Amino acid sequence: MLQKITYQIAGQDLVLETGRIAKQANGAVFAQYAGSAVIATVCASAHSVEGLDYVPLTVDYNEKYYAAGKIPGGFIKRENRPKDKEILVSRLIDRPMRPLFDKTFGREIQVVPTTVSADMVNPPDMLAIIASSAAVHLSDIPFNGPIAGVRVCALGDELIVNPTYEQIEKSRLEIVVAGTKDGITMVEGGAKEVGEDLMIVALEKAHQVIIELCGLQEKLRELAGKPKLPLTEARVKLENGEAMRAVAQPQLATACFLKGKQERYDAISAVKADIAGRYAEQLEDEAQKKLFDALFEDLQYEILRSSILNKGLRVDGRGTEDIRNISCEVGILPRTHGSALFTRGETQSLVVTTLGTVMDEQVFDDIEGDKREHFILHYNFPPYSVGEVGRMGTGRREIGHGNLARRSLEAMVPSKEVFPYTIRVVSEIMESNGSSSMASVCGGTLSMLHAGVPMKKPVAGIAMGLITEGAEPGSRYAVLSDILGEEDHLGDMDFKVAGTEDGITGFQMDIKIAGVSPEIMRKALDQAHRGRLHILGIMNQTLDRPVDHISEYAPKVVTLRIDVDKIGALIGPGGKNVKALCEQYSVRINTEDDGTVSIFGRNTQDAEEAKKAVLGIVSDPEVGIVYQGTVRRLMDFGAFVEILPGKEGLVHISKLSRERINSVSDVLHEGQEIPVKLTEIDKMGRLNLSYIDAIDPDGEDSSGTQGDRPSGDRPYGDRPQGDRPRNDRHDRNRRY
């Protein structure tokens, strides 16, 4: 039965509908906002698996090109593997929803939000979050939701909820916030050096709307909700569990606080192996083995959290605000354009910057339109970084972490007008025990500065954690700076903040509990600010400004602006002119619609010579200007001299010398470079020149006469027509 509810945001109706489309799914919702629409479905497998220690959830957001009236580019005209954008939106949906599923449900769950209409004004990703939650909430799948997501932007001092693409482009803050009616559970976004106060206000405004949207989904469930399926109750309990706990707890209390990551892991493994050996026969049963593993997980959880809350002591011996030792090195790779090695404790990132031409820009073919990016950041997390064997490749995690690092640095990367290079930064994670994405931000800054990129300001990032005792007001909590992998895994929050000395540029938060209070959020932001300044201080001791010279191995770039109506002349028919210039000077030339011309050469000389040639093509000769010309042809009556590429003028024999000469070849030869002054552009557009040696220091023509023609006459003067070959006259008329 069709059911529909409506809610208004920013003057537009948000419509959630169920019962008409995809009725065989466990849950399906058709959501529409203005001209954008998403169909979200959820299905669960028929059989459950007992004892799973994770939620087998998959979110596959996808965009159909027909939604925007487009046909996919490329040879194969159909949507294929997911684009980075689709993966990032899938993560935005997955992260706030995953903690709200119960592990004991034990069934695979697949959420598929599909954008089927896009108005090119309102982004459909927030619609996908709401539709996905609504589909799960009204389905028969157990879910401790609903959740909702909104985007908040700051335009000046005004905060706008669910802005348009145009408003996002102009904003100084853009964050995506998701949560339940009880609190915020996820934040992702970027900014242009905004303060902590604005961030807090934006989060509070977002949560007000989230509460309303969660209420909307509750109403839809009242109209069309299905009875929830039962959870899979554990039928097996761990035998001898209390005895195992009694032996393991004191040993783990020591093993968990060894300073080195590998030392801790080895000590914990030794304790586990010892107890497993005592109960080897019991643990041959797979179900008992899983419960045994869960017991050790619980013990580490309790020990770590108790130590932090009761003693202020972390597993590596640090206090809550202490940051691990940091070292920074630059220029460690000899042939790259820029390189840096950033090490923070047991987290290490080797970051390399490569400078390219405009032809190297990243081109995106998305439903909202084609776009180009001149700043690219790629993040790689090989298995050896954590001492493991695994498959190499780029997964969703790599794309998500790379996107966070890119957004954190993007606001401080110079525009193409200031620095006309395409910039590619690659972060290779060499070691990982803590936030490798924030290490990528720090290393990315140093690497770009070493490559000579004139960043507006250095950027650093830090990962924060949270340990709480309970959800009640007044409960104890501790905010942790520079968290380890264990603290991320066993803590209640993973909170990453990147920025400059003056404000935040990147922000990501995932909360595993119902929500955090404004008090905790404020403390976390203030503590992150102090940590960020500490890291920036260490980075600045190594390199705090771009190096003076770009690498000799980087392409050399020269830019200039020409009149828009001259672009055609530069390119030529079928690109003939620009191709010839590229071949002649061994450069690459790119023209923009606004008249910007970028010339990329292997060395500065080639680029500058090509620039002169471009100016010659697009510049108009000016009377009175002295040009360095090249003699192209000698005639009886004078010489044709090229003063600009493709533009020749005539130096009459009478303008070649102050003395009388018998032949033009007595003074000039073909290929000779001579200074000439443009004295006249006649009615037919022909250029008349004077050899500079035939002009006195005051610029007055003092050349002698040839025959009976006064020196002031036009070049061809009274000379008998028969003395000039007819073909030469026709050649001159054709060129000029």
Query: What single string gives the DSSP state of each residue in 357-425?
Result: -GGG-EEEEETTEEEEESEEEEEE--GGGGT-----S--HHHHHHHHHHHHHHHTTSPPTTTS-SEEEE
The reply to whether 514 and 491 lie within a common domain is yes
| pLDDT given at position 734 | 33
3-state helix/strand/coil string of 11-75: CEEEEEEECCCCCCCCEEEEEEECCEEEEEEEEECCCCCCCCCCCCEEECCEECHHHHCCCCCCC
Q: 469-481: string of b/e by CB count within 10 Å (b at 16+)?
A: eeeeeeeebbbbb
Element at 445 (helix H, strand E)? helix 436-450
Closest-CA residue to 220 (of 7, 473, 503): 7
The reply to whether 400 and 368 lie within a common domain is yes
Residue numbers of the domain that contains 592 = 556-618
Question: Rounded to a whole number, what is the distance in angstroms from the first to the last CA of the chain?
Answer: 80
Residue 179 lies in a domain: yes
State the burial class of residue 240 (Cβ atoms within 10 Å of its Cβ: 0-12, 13-18, 19+). middle
Contact 189, 496 (CB under 8 A): no
The reply to whether 515 and 383 lie within a common domain is yes
Residue 232 lies in a domain: no
Helix axes 286-311, 261-278, angle to 10 degrees: 130
Q: How many CB atoms lie within 10 A of CB 219?
A: 13
Residue 316 lies in a domain: no
Q: How many domains does the chain have?
A: 5
| pLDDT given at position 474 | 59
pLDDT along the chain (736 residues), means of 10: 89 93 96 96 91 90 94 83 93 95 93 96 95 97 95 93 94 95 92 93 94 96 95 82 92 89 90 91 87 91 91 90 96 95 96 92 81 93 92 91 96 92 96 94 98 96 90 77 90 93 95 81 93 96 94 88 86 86 87 87 85 82 85 91 84 85 88 90 88 59 37 36 39 35
Catalogue the E-assigned strands of 139-228.
148-155, 158-161, 173-180, 183-194
The reply to whether 26 and 102 lie within a common domain is yes
Contact 126, 176 (CB under 8 A): yes
The one-letter amino acid at 596 = T
CATH code where residue 171 lies: 3.30.230.70
The reply to whether 661 and 731 lie within a common domain is yes
**Structure tokens belonging to residue 572:** 């030529």
Q: Greatest CA span in the chain, whole angstroms? A: 126
| pLDDT given at position 471 | 60
Helix axes 576-585, 604-618, angle to 10 degrees: 150
The reply to whether 285 and 162 lie within a common domain is no
In whole angstroms, give the CA distance from residue 466 to residue 474: 15
Q: How many CB atoms lie within 10 A of CB 110?
A: 16
CATH code where residue 246 lies: 1.10.10.400
Residue 534 lies in a domain: yes
Residue 321 lies in a domain: no
Residue 696 lies in a domain: yes
Residue 464 lies in a domain: yes
Last residue of a domain, one of 195, 224, 253: 224
Residue 231 lies in a domain: no
Contact 535, 460 (CB under 8 A): yes
The reply to whether 158 and 259 lie within a common domain is no
Cβ neighbours for 435, distance < 8 A, ≥ 6 positions apart = 347, 461, 462, 463, 482, 483, 488, 496
The reply to whether 419 and 470 lie within a common domain is yes
The reply to whether 114 and 189 lie within a common domain is yes
The DSSP letter of residue 82 is: P
The reply to whether 452 and 576 lie within a common domain is no
CATH code where residue 644 lies: 2.40.50.140
The reply to whether 302 and 349 lie within a common domain is no
Contact 194, 507 (CB under 8 A): no
The reply to whether 337 and 396 lie within a common domain is yes
Query: What single string gives the DSSP state of each residue in 331-351?
Result: --SSSSSEEEEEEETTEEEEE
Last residue of a domain, one of 542, 571, 593: 542
Calculate Rg over the CA atoms of the chain: 35
Contact 199, 177 (CB under 8 A): no
